[in-house]
DNA sequence: CTACGTGCAAAAAGTTTGCAATCGC
DNA sequence: GCGATTGCAAACTTTTTGCACGTAG
C-alpha cells in the first residue's frame, strides 16, 4: 500500500482491539467503531494488502470461513523446538475451535513433523492441526448451567 | 431416502467409480456419465441424504471446498453412545492434500489424542490433521520432468 | 493535481431452497 | 394417484471486482 488511510488504520487496529482471530465481518464490525462508513470491500482489500505485507496471516479451519490474525514474525515465546522443521522455515500455528462459542484460539504447541503419517513416496511440506471441543469459558459455563443456549 | 432413483444410484456409484474423495462438481461429472441430465442441485440433495444415512462422510480441509468419501463402516450400528468418549473412541480420518495436483488422499494413521496441545481448562473432543505436500505421482513427475501437468 | 483508495453494486464460487413438473411405488 | 424427487432458477454466503468519486501526498 502507499497511502495511510483512516480505513487501513481501522482495519489494522481491529486486531489489537479484539486481540483474537477474526473473520472479515468481525473485522468490519470492529473497524466501524473507528470509521463508521467503512465497507466490507475495503476490509477485504486492506486484509489482502496486510497479508501481502506479512502484517497479518490467514487462518483457515476446516468448514469455517477464513479468519485473520496479526502475524507473529518472530515468536518470542516458543521457538527453537523444531530445528529440522518440515516446513522449510515457515512458522505455522495450530488452533482450537470451540464448538460452543465458535471462538478460535491459538495453540502454543506443535506435535512436530508427521511425515510418518503419509504414504511412502509422499513428500510432506506442511501440516495443519485443528482441535475441537469446549474452551475453558464454555466448560466453566456448562458446569454451572447444564442447559446451554442453542449452538449455532 | 425412500425412493430408489437413477440419480441416487448415479451419485452413489460416482464414488466407486472414482475411488477417491470428491467435490460436489466432481460427483456431478461422474454421475453425468450415468444420468446425463442430473443437476448439481440433485447431487447436493443426494449427498445430504447419503450423509444423513451415514453412507458417505463429509471431508472438509482448510481453505478447500467440501469433499465427500464413502463412509468407513467400521462400526455397523452406532448406538447413541455419545458422551465421555473423546478421541479414543471417535474413528475419524486425516488427509493429505497434494499442492500440485490438488488431489486428496486418505491417511491410514492418526497421531493420537493431542489434549496436551490445548490450554489448561480446555476440553478436547476431536482433532483434525491435514498434511500438505506432493503425492507420490507428483514427486515422481517432478523428479523426471519439471513440467507441471496435473493428471486430469 | 493525480493516482491510489473507497463505497457501492454486481459478479464469482459454493451451497441451499422454492416451485412446478415428473416419476417411483 | 400420491407424494417424494427432480431440474431450473433464484437466494444465500463468502470473497472479489468494475466503476465513478474521494482524498492522501
CA-CA distances (angstroms) from residue B152 to A9, A148, B102? 45, 48, 10
Closest CA to B23 of B62, B71, B58, B73: B58
Amino acid B111: pLDDT: 83
Q: How many CB atoms lie within 10 A of CB A100?
A: 18
Does residue B106 sit in the same domain as residue B145? yes
Q: What is the pLDDT of residues A8-61, one digit of tens each?
A: 999 999 998 887 899 999 999 999 999 999 999 999 999 999 999 999 999 999
B33 inside 8 A of chain A by CB: no
Looking at the fold, whether B6 and B60 belong to one and the same domain comes out as yes
- Name chain A contacts of B117, Cβ cutoff 8 Å: 94, 96, 107, 109-111, 129, 131
The CATH number for A129's domain is 3.30.1490.190
Task: Determine, for residues B125 and A134 on separate chains, whether the beta-carbon distance falls below 8 Å.
Answer: yes
The tally of domains found in chain B comes to: 2
pLDDT band at B145 (very low <50, low <70, confident <90, very high): low
Of A22, A46, A71, which residue constitutes the final position of a domain?
A: A71
Contact A117 B105 (CB under 8 A): no
The model's pTM: 0.83
- Higher-scoring residue by pLDDT: B1, A64: A64
Domain boundary among A71, A87, A104: A71
Q: Say if CB A78 and CB A109 are below 8 A apart.
A: yes
* % chain B with pLDDT above 70: 81
pLDDT value, residue A90:
54
- Examine the domain organization and report whether B98 and B34 are in the same domain: no
A58 and A87 fall within a common domain: no
A132 pLDDT exceeds 90?
yes
| Among the partner residues A110, A124, A140, nearest to B133 by beta-carbon distance | A124
B63 and B85 share one domain: no
**Cell for B17?**
467409480
pLDDT of residue B71: 87
Where are the extended beta strands (E) located within A1-152?
22-23, 56-59, 67-70, 95-98, 104-106, 123-134
Lowest mean pLDDT among A96-105, A137-146, B54-63, B81-90: B81-90
pLDDT value of position B113: 82
The verdict on A107 and A136 lying in the same domain is: yes
The residue among B15, B3, B116, B16 whose CA lies nearest residue B58 is B15
Let me know: does B21 contact B95? Beta carbons within 8 Å: yes
What pLDDT, on the 0 to 100 scale, is given for residue B73?
67
pLDDT of residue B146: 53
Range of the domain at A113: 75-152
Whether B147 and B113 share a structural domain: yes
Out of A71, A98, A113, a domain closes at A71
pLDDT of residue A115: 87
Asked if B55 and B80 sit in the same domain, the reply is no
- pLDDT given for residue B18 in this prediction: 80
Residues A97 and A113 grouped into a single domain: yes
A window 20-49: Cβ near strand C (< 7 A)? 35, 37-39, 41-42, 45-46
Dist. CA B6–CA B18, nearest whole Å: 18
CATH of the domain at B25: 1.10.10.10
Residues B1 and B65 in one domain: yes
Q: Which of A55, A53, A59 is nearest to A20 (CA)?
A: A59
Based on the fold, state whether residues B62 and B94 are members of the same structural domain. no
> A126: which chain B residues are within 8 Å (Cβ-Cβ)?
131-133
A85 shares its domain with A148: yes
Q: Is the pLDDT at A92 greater than 60, yes or no?
A: yes
- Among the partner-chain residues A66, A128, A134, the one whose CB lies closest to the CB of B122 is A134
Report CA torsion sign: A18, A95, A90, B132: negative
Amino acid at each position: 500500500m502507499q497511502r495511510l488511510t483512516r480505513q487501513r488504520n481501522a482495519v489494522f487496529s481491529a486486531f489489537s482491539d479484539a486481540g483474537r482471530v477474526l473473520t472479515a465481518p468481525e473485522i468490519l464490525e470492529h473497524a466501524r467503531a473507528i470509521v463508521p462508513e467503512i465497507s466490507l470491500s475495503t476490509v477485504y482489500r486492506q486484509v489482502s494488502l496486510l497479508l501481502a505485507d506479512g502484517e497479518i496471516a490467514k487462518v483457515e479451519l476446516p468448514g469455517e470461513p477464513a479468519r485473520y490474525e496479526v502475524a507473529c514474525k518472530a515468536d518470542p515465546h516458543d521457538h527453537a523446538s523444531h530445528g529440522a522443521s518440515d516446513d522449510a522455515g515457515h512458522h505455522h500455528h495450530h488452533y482450537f475451535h470451540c464448538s460452543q462459542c465458535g471462538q478460535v484460539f491459538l495453540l502454543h504447541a506443535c506435535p512436530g513433523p508427521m511425515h510418518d503419517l503419509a504414504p511412502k513416496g509422499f513428500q510432506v511440506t506442511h501440516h495443519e492441526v485443528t482441535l475441537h471441543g469446549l474452551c475453558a469459558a464454555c466448560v466453566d459455563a456448562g458446569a454451572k448451567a447444564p442447559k446451554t443456549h442453542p449452538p449455532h
